[in-house]
Structure 1
Amino acid sequence: MNQAFLSLGTNIEPRLDYLDEAIELLEDHRDITVNRKSSIYETVPVGYANQADFLNMVVGIETSLQPFALLDYCQQIENRLGRKRNIRFGPRTIDLDILTYNLENSTVEKLLIPHPRMNERAFVLIPLHEIAPDFKIPLWNKRARELLQLLQESDIKGVRKWTQNG
């Protein structure tokens, strides 16, 4: 069985519903088992600042799907939940990214594994660290906790654990 970590993010209301539905659709696939879920984090936008804050999380899965089939299914979920790709880094109903797949490195343009910017993103590393602090990411040969320690404090400040009551 293959192990993968996926990041999920949304900043269009109802944000929590989009996260819940994306996880439900992952769990509905017969070849995917969601075995770990981070807490939900609220984060300031990165790349395109003039938009609402995001809810982000990371899930760990086991799957018999190969990387491109997993990518295809993630994109099907995005499309089903109304994802529009009008502005790069812009608002979205849901975003699913494959962070890692086993210990593989892929440099195929459509599918870069590990995700090439995950080492720079507190909104990915904080929830990944929560569920797999000692997971070693092959591209950087560092554990999640080590990559998190390399981030600037200013990056980490923009990520806070989210609770439904604010």
Structure 2
Amino acid sequence: MRQQRLHVELPVMLAIGSNLGDRESTLRDAVHAINRIDGVTVDAASSIVQTPALKLSGIDHSAPAYLNAVVLARSSLEPHALLAELQRVEAEHGRVRDERWGDRTLDIDIISFAHLQVDDELLTIPHPRAAERSFVLVPLLQLDPHAHLAGIGSAADALAGIENDATECEAEPLW
């Protein structure tokens, strides 16, 4: 009898965004590309929200606005392997890493990865600023009005405590 290996998938929450090119098409394609990663299964994706560009110096209304969404998935990859695959998807969509928090065709952040905590030079999970970002909280609450963020608590309470500069763009979810 052939032994079978246990295939464990853990829940992950991803934030995706784009402020260059055909932003909506890029986000839609990115969700499908994420689902094609061996070891990743997309379960749901929010509708799109738009937010002003956030730079290191703060909100930049002169830069193209971002379209953003949240993707809920399951992954059997370890966190750094998932990050590498997500960065490959970004690169396939023209992502260039010239400027920290610069304009980009595609940005994919790991917001949470089950109960795991990672903090090294490449990756921090849970995402340290997710509770401060309406472009994460608004689409997350579309998917789950009772959502919680690891180490923070209620996503709705977090959103109530920050400036909500997100505008819902369309009713159709990405997935």
- TM-score, normalised by the number of residues in structure 1: 0.89
Tell me the amino acid that sits aligned with residue 40 of structure 1.
I
Pairing of 1:91-130 with structure 2 (within 5 A): 91-130=103-142
Q: Kindly indicate whether the alpha-carbon contact (under 8 Å) linking 1:132 and 1:144 is maintained by their aligned counterparts in 2.
A: no
1:51 partner SS? coil
Q: How far did residue 116 of structure 1 move?
A: 0.8
Q: How far did residue 65 of structure 1 move?
A: 0.9
**Mind listing any 5+ residue stretches in structure 2 that lack a counterpart?**
1-8
1:160 pairs, out of 153, 167, 174, with: 167
Identity %: 32
Q: How far did residue 147 of structure 1 move?
A: 1.5
2:74 pairs, out of 51, 62, 70, with: 62
1:20 pairs, out of 6, 22, 28, with: 28
Q: Which has the larger radius of gyration?
A: 2
2:170 partner SS? coil
Q: How far did residue 27 of structure 1 move?
A: 1.3
Q: How far did residue 146 of structure 1 move?
A: 2.1
Say which is worse superposed, 43-52 or 87-96, in terms of deviation.
43-52
Encode CA deviations 1:30-71: one digit per residue, 9 max, x unaligned: 311110111100111112613100100000001111111110
1:149 pairs, out of 151, 154, 160, with: 160
1:46 partner SS? strand
Moved over 4 A (4+): none
CA RMSD of aligned residues (A): 1.5
1:82 partner SS? coil
1:145 partner SS? helix
1:38 pairs, out of 28, 46, 49, with: 46
